[in-house]
Amino acid sequence: MKFGVIIFPGSNCDHDAYWTIQNIAKQPVTFLWHESHDLENSDVVLVPGGFAYGDYLRTGAIAKFSPVMESVRKFADGGGLVLGICNGFQILCESGLLPGALTRNAGLKYVCKPVQVRVENSDTPFTNACREGEVLTIPIGHMEGNYFCDQATLAELRRDHRILFRYSTPTGEITPEANPNGSLDNIAGISNRGGNVLGMMPHPERASEMVLGGREGFKIFESLAGIMAEK
């Protein structure tokens, strides 16, 4: 399998993701330039964290018009696997690949710290290396991580088990105190209807080896590598 990591002007987690895929997951990986339509035969496209195009207007609002995202939309429509992390989650929502929007954190402060997220659905290409109900410790670093959608969309996300991660306590309770940004229903990550697109605010690439303090985030990459190996 082959991963592609997009580079936008303002991306700052692209090399972290590339390192994790190449050196920890030991999978082929290439960078994808924002001005190119070519996904270079990638099996998985990763939309990384950062501040694409400076986050002018609002997060992801300009990035959605880039040539590479036009190709990503077509790739996803054909069943291709897409993972958006932090700013990548914001871009996927702006691009219409995921429902809802990421708004300013409750409290209006940038939040950067390790948090706990509970795995709500382990039967996906992104979470098959996890157990349902398992609690992972993964860092966040964002100003606009407050997920919002209308009630009909929330009901659909719940019904179809498309909420993959929720902010929780270390023992797995879903509480307001465990929510670092005010996100609706403690949502930390969701998938699309087809189950092939995931957006998540926590940074799994920042928790993929012990030198960083933990490797529980690596289970996301392990899941993807495993599902592609089966194909």
Q: Which residues are catalytic?
A: 86, 203, 205
What is the H or E stretch that residue 47 is in? strand 44-47
The sheet carrying 135-142 orders its strands as 29-33, 3-7, 44-47, 81-85, 197-200, 187-191, 163-168, 111-119, 135-142
> Which stretches of 51-205 are assigned E, i.e. beta strand?
81-85, 101-103, 111-119, 135-142, 146-148, 163-168, 187-191, 197-200
Nearest-angstrom CA–CA distance, 92 and 97 = 5
Cβ-in-10-Å burial (0-12, 13-18, 19+) of 161 comes to middle
CB atoms near residue 80 (< 10 Å): 20
CB atoms near residue 146 (< 10 Å): 22
- Residue 175: alpha-carbon gap to chain centroid: 22
